[in-house]
Amino acid sequence: MSTFTPGSDPGSRLPHHWLPDGSSLYDHLGRGFTLLVPAPVASDLPAISGAITPEIAGKAPGLLGPGARPGVAELAGRAGRLGIPLTVTALPPDYPWPAEFLLVRPDQHIAWRAADPAGLDLETAAGLRPVRAGV
């Protein structure tokens, strides 16, 4: 391969990005799955940013700010009920794909990409539901 073009396609490694504080975006990924959310959405989710515990997941829908997307809290709640570790982290505003919701696997590869978190299939991404060809 003579050139590499980073992208946000599922299966690709999450493109690296340096943050203003000098840390790497990778430093902010959780130990399990991480949902990277657009910065404007993340600012409305201060109560569920970071690691999602079962206790927080059960309360998350009531903690959303007025402009938040309920799909983030629903996904966090589903992860908690399924026992899937999930961290919610804001994408940097200057990230090349700042408006996408990216579900990142523990190995730093993108498992799912969506314009709305309600479109993220956590069960399939975590291997809890088999993928059937042609469906």
Q: What mean pLDDT is reported for the chain? A: 79
pLDDT greater at residue 77 or residue 69? 77
pLDDT tens column, 103-116: 999 999 999 999 88
* Residues written for the chain: 135
Where residue 43 falls among pLDDT bands split at 50, 70, 90?
low
Q: In the predicted model, is pLDDT for residue 5 greater than 50?
A: yes
Closest CA to 60 of 44, 40, 84, 38: 44
pLDDT tens column, 77-92: 889 888 999 998 888 8
Cα distance between residue 6 and residue 4, in whole Å = 6
Question: What is residue 42's predicted lDDT score, i.e. its pLDDT?
Answer: 72
Question: What is residue 44's predicted lDDT score, i.e. its pLDDT?
Answer: 62
Question: What is residue 14's predicted lDDT score, i.e. its pLDDT?
Answer: 96
Where residue 66 falls among pLDDT bands split at 50, 70, 90?
very low
Where residue 59 falls among pLDDT bands split at 50, 70, 90?
very low
Cα distance between residue 12 and residue 84, in whole Å = 21
